Amino acid sequence: MKQSSLLAPETYNIVSEIEKHVSDQDKNAIIYENGHNDPIAVTYADLMKQANQVGHVLLNHGLKKGDKILIMMPRSISTYRIYIAALKLGIAIIPSSEMLRTKDLQYRISHGEIDAVITMPEFIKEFLNIEEYTSLTKFVVAGHHEAWISIDDERLNQSEELDMAPTSRDDIAILSYTSGTTGNPKAVTHTHGWGFAHMKMAPKHWLSIKEDDLVWATAAPGWQKWVWTPFLSIMGSGATAFVYNGKFNPTRYLELLQNFKINVLCCTPTEYRMMAKLSNLDKYDIHHLHSAVSAGEPLNKEVVNQFEAHFGLTVRDGYGQTESTLLIGFLKDTKPRPGSMGKAIPGSDTTVVDDEGRQVAPGVKGNIAVPLDLPALFKGYYKDEARTKAAHAGKYYITGDLAHIDEDGYFWFEGRSDDIIISSGYTIGPFEVEDALTHHPAVKECAVVASPHEIRGNIVKAFVILNEGYKASDDLVKTLQDFTKKTVAPYKYPRAIEFVEDLPKTNSGKIRRVELRDAERQKYNQQFKQ
């Protein structure tokens, strides 16, 4: 795939891809399930009519092309209506998780220069102390609140037709905030043209979505991953989105896959791991599932093996970032190579470079990087030119992740650039140690970091959550260490193991090794520097 094929027309709006599917009056856009009521099906034709009505509500209250709106909504049909309406009008969206608190919202609203907010009654309390509260245009869904405009009440009297704003491929569509290792979150700027390129790459090549598929992507609104898959990848493909607004339970997930005959599944490694741990996998029939993918962090081989053994299904890893799209992964026709990340997605031109932006030879560790002119790459961090330039090296955007490429073009993950452990002169990536540990039946979840050591500089330390039936002990520490040595080079084994009840994670479920690493350094400093 040539990059020219990823370039959107000069006048372009993301929603045009969704509108292509409204002509079939019976084609379902969404099947909504909450675990309590009967499922609700909505066609593309009805969804677009409803979204158009929402668009008129926004227009009636002064919003226009170029404005920005923060949306804090759960998995729901209303969320799809709102996103479509705003984007169709050329209003930029700031996706915001319901887990955000006032401080988080304050930064986004002030930094993003937000014009309006949309949420549900139960989340309004987090907005009440926002400095801009009185000046914001405030919309509420599924309820009422003083000084908040009810979208549900007003949209029913609006026209079902709505003109699309004359947006350019370079107009901002989405400002997605993502946490950095230090300081405030970064606001990733995505244009309508980015959406075009994303929909040309991820749905077809990685997700393998066909137009008649029922697709379940478990990501929640408020994160770029929801924009990626539940929204754009599914809607842009004309497939049907399965939306489950319920708590995670591995048994329930497998029941839904079976009962609704889901065709494509995209969920987190944690969700796959929890399903793989069930002892009765053979009772479930999920043969309708022809594509299952995982993203967010590398998936353990043990989990992949479980799904292959019980369902004859290969769960395929994928790698991307908020700043880009799916860049590396296993496609259906990519020959498996256990432990690797897969190959560069067609059109991405993803490679590995040194710190100066020069491509490195096969087998040499470096930075995962993509060309700065990739249409599926963000346009920069909003109002932060320094951070934007800091991520550039030569003609490449540097992701911050390390890998090497083998002679056959497979990428091998080496960890985040700031997660790498250097011990006694050895360079150690945490993932392979974590992967080894999770193969032991005692280990439910773990994280590996550098722990300061007076002689070795650092040692490898593992924080381990145990499965039920196992108790922390010195004997178990020794057992896990010996077990790890059988899988990885001896210098890589965890010289220290601490059993914990939980691990620090981002709101999207990624383990924050940086918190564990900082805590280890603080303990070391208190012990030896006082």
pLDDT digits (tens, 9 = 90+) for 268-313: 887 898 899 899 999 999 999 999 999 866 777 888 999 999 999 9
Residues 6+ apart with CB under 8 A from 142: 76, 78, 120, 121, 152
pLDDT digits (tens, 9 = 90+) for 298-354: 777 888 999 999 999 999 999 998 899 999 999 999 998 888 999 999 999 999 999
Which is higher by pLDDT, 130 or 415? 130
What is the structure's pLDDT at 489?
75
Range scoring the smallest mean pLDDT among 320-324, 413-417, 460-464:
413-417
* Cβ–Cβ under 8 Å, residues 373 and 324: no
Residue 437: pLDDT over 80: yes
Three-state DSSP state, 153: helix
Q: Bridge partners of 294? A: 267, 317
Structure tokens belonging to residue 117: 């907010």
Say which residues have a Cβ less than 8 Å from residue 424's Cβ, sequence separation at least 6: 456, 457, 491
Q: Would you tell me how many other CB atoms lie within 10 Å of the CB of residue 377?
A: 21
pLDDT tens, position by position, 95-145: 998 888 888 899 999 999 999 999 999 999 999 999 999 999 999 999 999
**pLDDT of the residue at 142:** 96
**b/e map of 121-137 (b: 16 or more CB within 10 Å)?**
eebbebbeebeeeeebb
- Alpha-carbon gap, residue 325 to 339, rounded angstroms: 22
> Across residues 510-522, what is the average pLDDT?
89
Residue 181: predicted pLDDT = 45
Q: How confident is the model at residue 530 (pLDDT cuts 50, 70, 90)?
A: very low
Question: pLDDT tens digits, residue range 378-412?
Answer: 999 999 999 999 999 999 999 988 999 999 999 99
Q: What is the mean pLDDT of residues 43-55?
A: 98
Q: What is the mean pLDDT of the chain?
A: 92
Indicate the pTM of the whole model. 0.83
Domains and CATH numbers, the chain: 336-415 (2.30.38.10), 418-528 (3.30.300.30)
Find all residues with CB under 8 Å of 331, minimum gap 6, and list them. Answer: 205, 206, 208, 316, 342, 343, 345
Identify the bridge partners of residue 344 per DSSP, sorted by sequence position. 328
pLDDT at position 458? 86
Confidence band of 179 (pLDDT split at 50, 70, 90):
low
The closest of 143, 145, 161 to 153, measured between CA atoms, is 143
Name the residue type at position 102.
T
